[in-house]
Chain A
């Protein structure tokens, strides 16, 4: 089983001194919450497990391990986030030992919790079925139904960067990665704003958990915290909140790997990843660019090609396509 494989490799790496610490997940007292953990000795590896609910991207805490030679469990999105961090000089490749896992997808705690009033345990077969154990019963669900949204739309379950790839068959690439984005795009302008206001602006109380969870939000002084000049107010005013989310999404354009940590961290279940997913779609369609696949490649905004499309900014083309 996957957990065994993980413990085995972690133990080996620590014993051989190849790494100083291994970053992975452990279980908690709660049936559908897993927690990131850093083990520093071979004895501790028994804590580690394959997280069915490993919803926070491990690349975020990885950045705190600068200077240490660290091992990390990396699914597709974790690995891609590491690639972007290497491209942006935040991580050094030689300091890492990446244990890659072709990801079967992870389950969404907020989908599970609605299924029964009291849940004792969740048994995930990592293939098709999930059993939710209540005091009375064991209810069967299809794995797909309880999967995280970003896992359902995942295009890179296999990590592009790894030192070792565990032998496991994970998910296939999603055939319809922009389904939810398309749903919003199909709304009228009015409806879209209403969606935004309802789902995002009225719920958000500016806790910044999304920002803290995101592996790519690492600026020492976030734009939100600037006071001279103050770009964004810190209030719950709809405009302030809108500005915060939109600017943050743009700061992630061409960088976001859709790990879903932002949504998972949000206490108000705001569908945050859709904002950045839309930009991911734009980058792909306009520039054939996907973030986090090749550490040697240039970033989206530092590369320039004479053939880059301009139809999105030429008035004549925008008029012709009915966009304005």
Chain B
């Protein structure tokens, strides 16, 4: 929905008076300003965390800036030393193969085939968790993990933030 609104405004040049901002950018800003207090010490086992750059959010959406913010937030909530990036990354990252949600309904074989590179890329990092702020990528990555028998779990960003919230 995020992308639909964003691109719709852009392509059809619909005049609007509101600003379009991703929650991730707000997370990053709030963490920097100290308004959102997070503490990575919950990660006692030193779970390794990597990241997915959703196509509609980063490459086709708001660009490298939001990808930078995403990484900042993740590092802040799991600990910088526990973060491992993928390559290629940010605007150049591979698509997960989930088709922006359009092929979640069926086409499993094709979807798994399209997502093989993404699986290999994530598996190569050796991470236990892959964070993805897109629920389509989330579903796809979980399915990929099962299909290709990987060890990682896909987790939404807000999950980790709640874990790291300082009460």
A–B: direct contact at CB < 8 Å: no
Interface residues of B (CB under 8 A from A): none
Interface residues of A (CB under 8 A from B): none
